[in-house]
Amino acid sequence: MDDHYELIGSPPPLAAYLRLRAESGLSPKRPDQARPALEHSWAWCHVVDTATGAVVGMGRVIGDGGWYFHLADMATDPQHQRRGIGRAVIDHLLTRIEQQAPEAPYVTLMADRPGVRLYESVGFVPSAPATIGMVRPQPACRGADQPTEN
């Protein structure tokens, strides 16, 4: 990572988190969804462009602190990609897990195609066919267009 970037071992500000998710191609989130993520994750880090003060990268770990850890919200501003920011974030988070978790932690992530090479470079392998990542889709909106109970 270039010298004009600074890695900070804490969550980014709410507005930066929301902006970076949207700009990097992750699904947009609302403030009421973002606040708990910022406050209750096991570990966070973000990267600031020291010339502008803008948050240009981030990542977090969710988990129980015992054996299960999941990397999430790995994102880099598209204008700052290919400069080692994602690698610095994942190295920081994995080092923290290695230093603070009990022996033999189980570390997972869900990889979007653009991130696969980065994740493979630090030792991640596809979990299929042994396990398959799954998701439970949520309705787009809870409200007026859904049936109500009387």
Q: What is the pLDDT of residues 23-62, one digit of tens each?
A: 999 999 999 999 999 999 999 999 999 999 999 999 999 9
Does residue 115 sit within a domain? yes
The answer to whether residue 144 sits within a structural domain is no
CB 58 within 8 A of CB 17: yes
Q: Is residue 148 part of a domain?
A: no
Q: Consecutive 10-residue runs of the chain (150 residues): their mean pLDDT?
A: 95 98 94 97 98 97 96 97 96 97 95 91 92 84 47
In a domain, 133, yes or no: no
Q: Which of 75, 41, 77 is nearest to 61 (CA)?
A: 41
pLDDT at res. 128: 86
Give domain status of residue 43, yes or no. Answer: yes
What is the domain count for the chain?
1
Distances (CA, A) of 82 to 36, 56, 76: 30, 12, 9
The predicted pLDDT at position 129 comes to 86
Pick from 48, 23, 105: nearest CA to 71: 105
Question: Domain containing 77: what range?
Answer: 5-121
Residue 14: CB atoms within 10 Å: 13
The token pair that represents 66 in the structure block: 């015992």
Judge whether 130 lies within some domain: no
Q: Is residue 55 part of a domain?
A: yes
| Per-residue pLDDT, 146 | 45
Q: Is residue 74, in this structure, part of any structural domain at all?
A: yes
Peptide bond into 11 cis (omega under 30): no
- Check if the beta carbon of residue 106 is closer than 8 Å to that of residue 64: no
Q: Residue 142: its pLDDT value, please? A: 56
Give pLDDT, residue 112: 87
Write the CATH number for 85. 3.40.630.30
